Amino acid sequence: MPLLTPNRVREARERRGLSQVALAERVGLSRQGIFAIEASRATPAVDVALRIAAALDGTVEALFGAARAAGALVAEGEAGAPIGRAAVARIADRWVSFSLDGDGVRRAADALSTGGPPCAVALEPLRTDAELQENVVVMGCAPALGLWADRLNSRSGAGRFVWLPRSSTAALHALSAQRTHVAGVHLVDPRTGEANVGDVRRLAGAEPVVLITLARWEEGLVVRHDDAARIRRPADLARRGLRLVGREAGAGAQRLLERTVRQQGLPAERARRPHLVAAGHLDVARAVAMGAADTGVATRDAALAFGLDLVVLAEERYDLAIPRALLADPRIQRMLDVLGSGALRAELAALGYDVRATGERIAEVEVP
């Protein structure tokens, strides 16, 4: 019988002082089954590989590497992610996956998730490894990231770009955990008024990060035309019975809403306990347009998308946080080249973005 690709199960088992019998009992196999796997005479099924990894406090990839189960791929998933369609990328020499639920239904999946704990989700790939290796994950709440990715993907060149809508804080946490290549961020420090740098320094991890401006945008209260006379200024947030749509904690829009409520002398609970909570700027605008809420904080492009008025509260700079080590990656270089193109700038300007600083390198942030 020909040997398969060697694995590291035996070394991991011996480091933990376990016998083959003890590991077999934990995993639910025979001792002969463990022997065959350790001797590279058998490749475990995905569920067995997951159980072995759990029993040895490791990951499937660390134990088996290229010797993964027949056609399957094991990736680091998201806590609480449902079984189903997934986007997949290679980041920091490991596979990571993201559920394509909700609005992700519009995106073609890279794989189908067949379950497992977040540390080792079993996937059935729908693309080749070479295609998955090309994926670049861009997280952030700006709808412009989606059209940027679409423009990149419509042309040949290095990389395939996957936009995952996430709040600024969630994107920075993902950057710290090496679960995204690029994080979009618009977070104003309420104490200093500084944009983005402080939060990136605090949340983005230990590696140096470069901040490059995508654009500046206006944020404010989105309002239906027939409510424009009733909601015209920040003080109107005090109106009795006003149905407010908020954002999740850590979103830049939620931070702006809380700051505005505080400036108007209103109770903090007015912002922290809204009528409903939306997952992004477009969802806030959609809720208002449908009549599910009277107003909420979103961006001008979201207001334009749903035919809403905007009571401007602030103009903010939206930056891209990119690990300095990735700037030499041909995929990232291509991203930045397209960012400087006239076509993308014209489209962003048409959506209400101020593109005069687009592409500027704002800062290099290092953890002290």
Residue-wise pLDDT for 80-132, tens only, equals 666 789 999 999 988 999 999 877 788 889 999 877 666 778 888 888 888 99
Cβ atoms 183, 170 nearer than 8 A: no
The two beta strands, 182-185 and 135-140, are: parallel
| Distant-in-sequence, close-in-space partners of 229: CB < 8 Å, separation ≥ 6 | none
Q: Please identify, among 64, 94, 110, the residue that sits at the C-terminal boundary of a domain.
A: 64
Supply the pLDDT for residue 67: 45
CATH of the domain at 15: 1.10.260.40
Q: What does the mean pLDDT of the chain come to? A: 88
What are the φ/ψ torsions at residue 316 (nearest 5 degrees)? Answer: -125, 155
Asked whether residue 56 is domain-assigned, the answer is yes
| Distant-in-sequence, close-in-space partners of 68: CB < 8 Å, separation ≥ 6 | 43, 46, 49, 60, 61, 74
Q: How far apart are CA 83 and CA 210, in angstroms?
A: 35
- Span 268-274, average pLDDT: 88
CB atoms within 10 A of CB 355: 20
Cβ atoms 178, 294 nearer than 8 A: no
210 and 345 assigned to the same domain:
yes
192 and 162 assigned to the same domain:
yes
58 and 77 assigned to the same domain:
no
215 and 112 assigned to the same domain:
no
CATH of the domain at 363: 3.40.190.290
Least confident of 44-53, 191-200, 252-261, 351-360: 44-53
93 and 233 assigned to the same domain:
no
What percent of the chain lies above the pLDDT cut of 90?
A: 59
207 and 332 assigned to the same domain:
yes
144 and 80 assigned to the same domain:
no
365 and 303 assigned to the same domain:
yes
Q: Which residue has the higher pLDDT, 278 or 229?
A: 278
What are the φ/ψ torsions at residue 45 (nearest 5 degrees)? Answer: -65, 165
160 and 117 assigned to the same domain:
no
Threshold 0.95, pTM exceeds: no
- Span 207-226, average pLDDT: 95
Asked whether residue 2 is domain-assigned, the answer is no
Residue-wise pLDDT for 288-321, tens only, equals 999 999 999 999 999 999 999 999 999 999 999 9
139 and 123 assigned to the same domain:
no
Q: How far apart are CA 142 and CA 318, in angstroms?
A: 8
96 and 141 assigned to the same domain:
no
Asked whether residue 272 is domain-assigned, the answer is yes
CB atoms within 10 A of CB 235: 13
Count up the domains in the chain and report the number.
3
CB atoms within 10 A of CB 89: 23
Domain region containing 205 = 134-368
Asked whether residue 4 is domain-assigned, the answer is no
Least confident of 71-85, 168-182, 260-274: 71-85
240 to each of 152, 221, 236, how far by Cα in Å?
Answer: 47, 17, 9
The token duo for 13 is 């088992």
pLDDT exceeds 60 at position 196: yes
Asked whether residue 162 is domain-assigned, the answer is yes
pLDDT exceeds 80 at position 365: yes
Supply the pLDDT for residue 368: 65
Supply the pLDDT for residue 78: 79
Distance of CA 164 to the CA centre of its chain: 5
Asked whether residue 1 is domain-assigned, the answer is no
